[in-house]
Amino acid sequence: MSERTGAPILDVRGLVAGYGDTMVVRDLDLSVDAGRTVVLIGPNGHGKTTLLRAVSGLIKPAGGEVWFGGERIDGRNPEYIVAMGLVHVMQGDGLFAQMTVEENLLMAAFPSASWRARQPALERVYALFPQLKERRGQRARTLSGGERRLVALGRGLMREARLLLIDEPSLGLAPVMIDTVYGAIREIRERLDNAILLVEENFTHIADVADVVHVVEMGGIVRSGSLEELSTDRTVVETYLGTL
């Protein structure tokens, strides 16, 4: 695991974001230190995905600032931001169903890179997730839900990420598949030195991965702490299942 540097890799200040006149992220402050995993927990519809979209440039923030690696990035386009090493693994799989595992991975590398130049990235992903190498020639539509989610994470890792945004990796998966996906996230955490900003609806799966947890409600952070600290907060535990 990498050492921490002084300044956070991601610094979000007073962020406001939404759709049309409706703001769903409201004056939100958040920072992520290099090499750390920060988890956002919160109910459906409270602005978690919108926050990630505003950070990765998929939507333009209506207010506030986003700093990444010491550079201000709000207002930048998503391709510029991803090239800086801020990679967004979106909610759902977003795979090309008719393409193979390997084609899906290769498509996620830099668009300008030649097929050959993409090989080192491919080998890096296969070294981390050998299951994907075994299934390299299999079409995405024939994979299990857990395997598809693994390919989605692998696609994120085809870019050199300093920060990986991962949106609800457990969504819609059977428990055994969720274990597979979280095994993969633990591998990323232990073997790569990027920071991770992870979103989930509750505490169920994050016990081994969270350095810091923030509870998001109504587009703002209402509680923060380590998992241990939040697990002694009765309101939080009762609201978010208490399934620690």
Ligand X SMILES: Nc1ncnc2c1ncn2[C@@H]1O[C@H](COP(=O)(O)OP(=O)(O)O)[C@@H](O)[C@H]1O
Residues near Mg ion (CB under 5 A) are 48-49
Report the alpha-carbon distance of residue 227 to residue 230 in Å, rounded.
Answer: 5
Kindly indicate which of the ranges 46-54, 64-72, 137-145, 232-240 contains the residues binding ligand X, using the contact rule CB under 6 A: 46-54
Site for ligand X contains 45 (CB under 6 A): yes
Contact 180, 161 (CB under 8 A): no
Report the alpha-carbon distance of residue 198 to residue 181 in Å, rounded.
Answer: 13
Q: Minimal distance in Å, beta carbon 55 to ligand X?
A: 12
Helices (H) and strands (E) in the chain, counts: 9, 10
Among the listed residues 44, 98, 112, 114, the single contact to ligand X using CB under 6 A: 44
Q: Of Mg ion, ligand X, none, which one does residue 61 interact with (CB within 5 to 8 Å by kind)? A: none
Tokens representing residue 131 in the block? 């299951």
Site for ligand X contains 92 (CB under 6 A): no
Among the listed residues 37, 49, 104, 170, the single contact to ligand X using CB under 6 A: 49
Kindly indicate which of the ranges 40-48, 81-89, 117-125, 169-177 contains the residues binding ligand X, using the contact rule CB under 6 A: 40-48
The β-bridge relationship of strands 37-41 and 195-200 is parallel
Site for ligand X contains 24 (CB under 6 A): yes
The β-bridge relationship of strands 63-68 and 10-19 is antiparallel
Kindly indicate which of the ranges 48-56, 125-133, 142-150, 187-195 contains the residues binding ligand X, using the contact rule CB under 6 A: 48-56
- DSSP reduced 3-state for 58: coil
Site for ligand X contains 47 (CB under 6 A): yes
Q: Which is nearer to ligand X, 90 or 109 (CB)?
A: 90
- Cite the DSSP H helix spans in the chain: 48-56, 78-83, 101-107, 119-128, 130-134, 145-157, 175-191, 227-230, 234-239
Q: Of ligand X, Mg ion, none, which one does residue 169 interact with (CB within 5 to 8 Å by kind)? A: none
Contact 28, 14 (CB under 8 A): yes
Report the alpha-carbon distance of residue 17 to residue 230 in Å, rounded.
Answer: 27
Q: Minimal distance in Å, beta carbon 205 to ligand X?
A: 16
Q: Which is nearer to Mg ion, 48 or 159 (CB)?
A: 48
Sorted by sequence, the CB contacts under 8 Å of residue 202 that are 6+ apart come out as: 41, 240, 241, 243
Sorted by sequence, the CB contacts under 8 Å of residue 179 that are 6+ apart come out as: none
Site for ligand X contains 88 (CB under 6 A): no
Contact 70, 46 (CB under 8 A): no
Site for ligand X contains 61 (CB under 6 A): no
Q: Of Mg ion, ligand X, none, which one does residue 232 interact with (CB within 5 to 8 Å by kind)? A: none
Site for ligand X contains 232 (CB under 6 A): no
Among the listed residues 1, 19, 120, 123, the single contact to ligand X using CB under 6 A: 19
Q: Where on the chain is the footprint of ligand X (CB under 6 A)?
A: 19, 24, 42, 44-50
